[in-house]
Structure 1
């Protein structure tokens, strides 16, 4: 037990307690909590760190108002100064007029220069320049010490930036507290400055690292999407041409599935980066859970079919409405289905069940696959986590699918848990979501059907510096009956658009000579360009990229590899309008 006497009428005791008995300190390492007894009579617990000593100093200084009397004031101040000298933080005191009367060695190290004691020029905080966390300057008569004296209030935990004489800046947390005599009169104040410069620098490094990681993932996704676009177009062209032979059909279906799988993995990479940095925005609406389940099953259908498992869906008997982003929620459930398909052998069973329990919707994905070892259950939702058994017996993945599920479910105010009796016993993942019983049900959006012929009246200009991507998309749209032209850089696109006067321009963003945004702006300045539908087709998918496309004059922003059905939903109304205009 450490006991410091700070005056005749007060006592400061800082006692680390373990198992309720101090003698245990000699036998075990003290790794639990710290308890502090103050002269005011309070006896709180603290984390075993600087917090206890910080709080002790502030509390004892404040408690002086109950114990300081005029005869013992000088002695009390000396004792207080001895206490402050041993603190692992900067500390100084002022009298009631703001004149600095004392500072400890840590304060001197923080400031870089000693202020003048009892000097009006150094009132409140010395002659140092002070700034708030946002960079705005703090006048000396508005610093925390000055405010504590003027308002007789405590100012604890405020971030402050101190500029030293050499120009170096240090960041500290200020704890300014008035000191009173027994009658409650303000005698002065004490300010403790906890140097957090190293912590702030570490936070800045983490922010830069996180930003670099996100930028890398965005570039990686962009570069991976570019070659997928012509592959998907080539597959669809061959399918439209009616390629015969079971081997050829099998090869085409394999390529199509693998392109879809690669696109999904790329999307997961980008999404987990967005969620990790709180940049993923949900577009919530009132949706029926059954519709979300159907969308999830549709997304995972190919993987479930090729895996050869027996799949069953049990939808809720009564409609269950949620306030949710239907796309993101379906994505989370589809990821669980994909996970079950990966780790359940052929002939196994996968179930998707949903029901209402009280005010929650409960969605369960259950399988009788390889199961999860007990030691893995606690970390199965952590990024890049895959058990040795999983890697040995199932196709690989990035190890982020379940992490994304957890983040998406939590963004919806829900929880997800994993359950398994161990290896070979299968597994179950349970999502619990709050049910929405208010508001009007938003009707489903109108979706265009598979009516490629409706786009047959359109003149379409495809612009991409990836020639395979441009040519493949042009051939595909031409097979639907559209009149197409291709350009491979921005300037060529502008020249060809002037001659061709397209109804639609499908425009890549990153191109030589003039990028897609510059091309879009220049097209919009033409009299005929105002009526043209300009669609960005890009490997960049962040919301920032979409916003920049809107600002440049694009009508839509699609992500590579193009989903033909999504493109047709945009083109069909344009084709119908073009036909009516010509009739």
Structure 2
């Protein structure tokens, strides 16, 4: 190679010319030289392999590449390539990455190292350039970057999933704590009240044993209090068992469920002369017993809170929810199909401000205290619906009946 400002003849002379030429050709780095005007003079096979072509010495200027691009992909004029700048400005141009395109259209990322060569007068007479192909290095960097991004995305997803799971568990814990508080209230109030009556009436009864008629009356009071307590305990057990996931959802025809409920409530339906109408209901994947409990409690609730002057009228309709409705409803999974069941009655209704309170265990509205029941039925309905990844809400107005909207997935998520 020619040294800067060296006043000697070309090194490829005489016997050593072949020797230096062989060294030059066997270098793995792409190397070529230009005269001061940029015309290519010498090049090795590594340069030909990189360019994908044989340059025309004395005609191709500054670089033997078919085309050159900046790293952003925009074309680079040949007279602005690193070798051209090195020759024009008389300085080395290092670290300016370029992209070269071969005649076949393939591209390589290259790091050029052009340096000018000066004569004794300090004039640029030629230049030498070493081109380092960094394509594979760039690909490895890109692959590493993509893996890092994938790992970061996976990590962020795992963190998000765990955060959501923690939030879900916190909500369940909060719900469980609320239920425990309500159970504590039952133990301290609802269950103690019939016990207190039993104690009081038993004490009075002790002094009335000589009067069979009075004794029988107090025994009736004691029996009623005991029955009330048994009902509370039974409802509590039913409510608590819903949290035990030992039943497998199966295909359930809701028409069959409703038929069984009608049969169970046949006497009270006849007694109240109730009209119960329904459309053809869908088949869904659910726990059969819980679907029976859901329908039973909703229908019996409408029968219980019917008007005193009118016969109960209950209609049950169903429809498939549209995708946009599912997306707009909080708590639903957009990947699932849902059906909406509407249980509508003409009963006494309730003020809409209490639409959430009626689903709270043991919470009964004051003006409903005269009706029988423990205040567990609708809470049981909500728990069943939640167990099936659905939602339930009620719409009503006093003396205008009520409508209970139940949204359930056709299939249960895995």
- TM-score under structure 2 normalisation? 0.42
- TM-score under structure 1 normalisation? 0.31
